[in-house]
Structure 1
Amino acid sequence: MPVDWAQELQYKGIIGNMGKYKATVIAMGVTLLASLGAAKAQVYKAAEPLAHTYSIVARDPKTGEMAVGVQSHWFSVGTAVPWVEAGVGIVATQSFTNKSFGLRGLALLKEGKTPEEALAILLADDEAREVRQVAILDAQGRVATHTGKQCIRYAGHITGKNFSVQANMMLTDKVWPAMAKAFERSEGQPLAERVLLAMQAAEREGGDIRGRQSAALVVVKGQKTDEPWNDRILDLRVDDGEQPLDELARLLKVYRAYEHMNAGDLAIEKGQMQQAMQEYGKAEEMFPNNLEMKYWHAIGLANSGQVEEAAKLLREVYKKDDNWRELTSRLPEVGLLTVSKQNMEKLMRIK
C-alpha cells in the first residue's frame, strides 16, 4: 500500500460477500486486521501517528512528582504519546494516537474534572474510540484508563494506587502485569527509576511484538511554581535506537551525575568548597571518563587553594584534549578561576 495511505485511512468493516478479501494490511510497519461483520469507524491521519506500544503513568505520593514512560517500535514515540503539566497531570495517548487528547485532557483536568470524567469526555465523540488506548493521571494520583476493543492483541491495562500501565500489540499478555508488579515492588526508589524498571520488566516479557525503536521518560513536579521553566524535572528521549531502554537507562545515569555537578556548582556559589568537592567527586565516580566533570572538579580544587590536586586532574584532561588548556586561560577574565598569577602559570604549563 503506498505511503499516500498515511494521509487518510478509514474502514468501517467488511460485510457479506467481501469476506473472501479478508487480509492482513501492512503499512509503515503497523498491522491492521480487517474483520468480518460490522465495525466502528477507525480513522488514521498523518496528524495522528501510530504508536502501538506500552507505557506507564505514575505519581510519587511523597514528593508529588508525576512521571510517564513509554517505549515503542515507532520513530520518536516521545513526541506523540506523553503529555504532561506540573501540578495538573499526565495523559498518555497511544495505539491509534490522538494527539488532541493530550492538550484537551490536561485542559479538562485544569477545569476540575477527574481523570474518569476527562476520559469520558474525550472518548464521547471519538469515532475511533475502539482503537484508542489512553491513560490519564492527575496531581492527586487518581487514574483512568481506556483500552479500545479493537486494539491489536495482546492489549490491556492495569490501574493501581498512583499509577496505570497500558500496552497494545504486545508479544504476550504478561507484559502489563509485569510492569505493574515491577513498579509496586520498587517503592522507595526515585520515581524515574521506578518507571524505568517497569518498562524493563515489559521487555523481559517480550514487549512490543515488532521489537523496539524509541523511548521517552518525563518527570514533572507535583505542584506548579512561579518558575514554570523549572517545573519539568526530567525529559529524556531516545528517538531511534536498537536498544532504546538501555540508552534511556544510560541517559538517566548521566542525568543523576550532572545533578551532583549542579549541586557542586551551587555549593561553590555559596562558598561551600568542601561540599562542592564532594558533589564533583560523586559525579566523577559515576563517569570517570567524562572530561567535563573531571575538568570542573579540577577548577573547583584550584579555586579552593588545592592547586596541586587540581593540576593532577588537569594533566589527565589536557592529555586527552588540549582545548581544555585554552579554556583554562579564558576563565580568569570572567571570574571563574581565581588563582594567583604564579599558580595560573603552573596550571597552564602542565604537561
Structure 2
Amino acid sequence: MKSSVSRLVISLLCILLFQQASSQSVYKNEFAHTFSIVARDATTGDMAVGVQSHWFSVGTSVSWGQSGVGVVATQSFTNPAYGQNGIQLMKEGQNADEALKVLVAQDEGRDFRQVAFLDTNGKASAFTGEKCIASAHHMVGDNFAVQANMMLNDEVVPAMAKAFEENSELPLAERVVKVLLAAQAAGGDIRGKQSAAILVVGAKAVEHPWEDKKVDLRVDDHSKPLQELGRLLEVHRAYEYMNQGDLAVERNDMDAALVAYGTAENLFPDNLEMKYWKAIALANNNRLKESLPIFKIVFEKDTNWRELTKRLPKSGLLNLTSAELLMVLEQ
C-alpha cells in the first residue's frame, strides 16, 4: 500500500512539474525540427533513439532513455519534460501510449510538439501537433515509431519505416543509422543537416547509473553528420572488441584475446593504441617474440609510445625482465 501511495505521489509531482514546464511560452523551448526513430530490438530487448537535424547538438535535447524502462524522442519545439517525466511514468508501469497521452493532455503547447515513446515491451506511441511545420508526420509499427517535421517532402517518414523493417538482421544501433540515412536520402530536413545522435539502452534495469547506456554517440556540428555518426559507431564497436580482448587476457585465454584484438584492428586499422595494447598483452603472456614486430610498427609511427613503455613496469602493467624490456625498447 505504501509503495502504491509513493508511486501516486511521484506521478502527481511529475504532472505538476510538467504543467509548469509546459505553461511557459512555446517559443522559449529549444527549436529542434528534425527526424527521429525510437526502436526496440525484438531479440535482445535493447531500445534506441536515433535523430538528425539541421540544428546544433540535437542529441542533447531530443534523446532520452533508461535501461529496463523505455526511450523517448521529443522534438519540434522541444519540451524536455516529456523526456524526464515520460521515463518516470513508464518506470512506474504505464505503457508508452498511456504515458504519452497523460503528458500530451497536460501540455498547453501540444500543438507545436512532436513526441514518441517506446517501452520495454516494444509498444510505441507517437504524437504530432497540428502546428508542427510541414511536412510533419509519424508512423508507428511493431517495436518502433518514426517521426519527422519540417521535412522536404512527405516521403521521409515512409522511407524510415521501410528501412527499419528491411534491416532486421543488423544490430539495433546500425539498424537505426540505416533508418536515418534513408530519411536523408528521401529528402530529409528542408534546411539541410548539421547534427545527429544515437542512444541505446538495455532491456533490463542496471544496478549502477553509469552502466545504463550501451551506446551514446553524438555529432554536434558536421557537414555530413550521419556519415560521421556511422564512423563513430564503427570506432565504438572496435573498442568493444578491445575490451573483450582485455577480458579474455584476464581469463588467460590468449587465443580468444587475439581474435578480439584482431577484429578491433580490422575495424580501426590506423589506430596505434589498439596495436600497442595487443603487443603489451602478448609480451605479458610469454609471447614476446610475437609482440616485437608490433612494437616496431607503433614506435616508428610515434616515439611517445616507446617512452610510455618505459613507465609501465613501475605500474605493474608490463611484466618483463630488464633484458626483455630492452629488447622491446630497441624496436
Paired position in structure 2 for 1:316? 297
Alignment equivalent of 2:167, drawn from 161, 170, 186: 186
Of residues 101, 113, 119, the one that matches 2:94 is 113
Q: Any residues of structure 2 matched to 1:111-260 within 5 Å, and which?
A: 111-260=92-241
1:198 offset after TM fit, Å?
0.3
Q: Does 1:335 align with 2:320?
A: no
Structure 1 contact 51–95 (Cα < 8 Å) conserved: yes
Contact 2:276 2:294 in 1 (8 A): yes
- Answer yes or no: is 1:271 the counterpart of 2:277: no
State the secondary structure of the residue aligned to 1:264: helix
2:58 partner letter: V
Distance apart, 1:44 and its partner CA: 2.8
Distance 1:104 1:42, change over 3 A: closer
Judge conservation of contact 1:42–1:131 (CA < 8 Å) in 2: no
Unmatched runs of 5 consecutive residues or more in structure 1: 1-40
**Could you tell me which amino acid in structure 1 is paired with residue 239 of structure 2?**
Y
**AA partner of residue 233 (structure 1):** K
The one-letter code of the counterpart of 1:113 is Q
Structure 2 letter corresponding to 1:44: V
Aligned-pair Cα RMSD in Å: 1.3
Task: Look up the match of 2:72.
Answer: 91
- Give the TM-score, by structure 1 length: 0.86
Maintained 8 Å contact 2:26/2:112: no
Letter in 1 for 2:48: A
Q: Conserved in 1, the CA contact under 8 Å of 2:27 and 2:77? A: no
Alignment partner of 2:45 out of 64, 72, 75:
64
Distance 2:259 2:288 in 1: 17
Amino acid paired to 2:284: N
* Cα distance in 2 for residues equivalent to 1:283 and 1:119: 41
Partner of 1:104: 85
- Could you tell me the percent identity over the aligned residues? 55
User: Which among 26, 30, 34 is matched to residue 44 of structure 1?
Assistant: 26
Deviates more, 1:248-257 or 1:126-135: 126-135
Mean Cα displacement is larger for which, 92-101 or 308-317? 308-317
Q: What is the rounded CA distance, in whole Å, between the counterparts of 1:111 and 1:267 in structure 2?
A: 39
Amino acid at match of 1:286: L
How many residue pairs match? The answer is 309
CA deviation after TM superposition for structure 1 residue 305, in Å = 2.2
CA drift at 1:316: 1.2
What code does the residue aligned with 1:114 have?
N
Tell me which moved more, 167-176 or 275-284: 275-284
Q: In structure 2, what is the Cα distance between the partners aligned to 1:111 and 1:337?
A: 49
Q: Which runs of 4+ in 1 moved over 3 A?
A: none
For the 8 Å contact 1:58–1:162, the answer to whether it is kept is: yes
- For the pair shown, which has the larger CA radius of gyration, 1 or 2? 1
Choose the corresponding residue for 1:325, options 272, 289, 306.
306
- How far the C-alpha of 1:174 sits from its partner, in A, is 0.5
TM-score by length of 2: 0.91
Equivalents in 1 of 2:24, 2:315: separation in Å?
A: 61
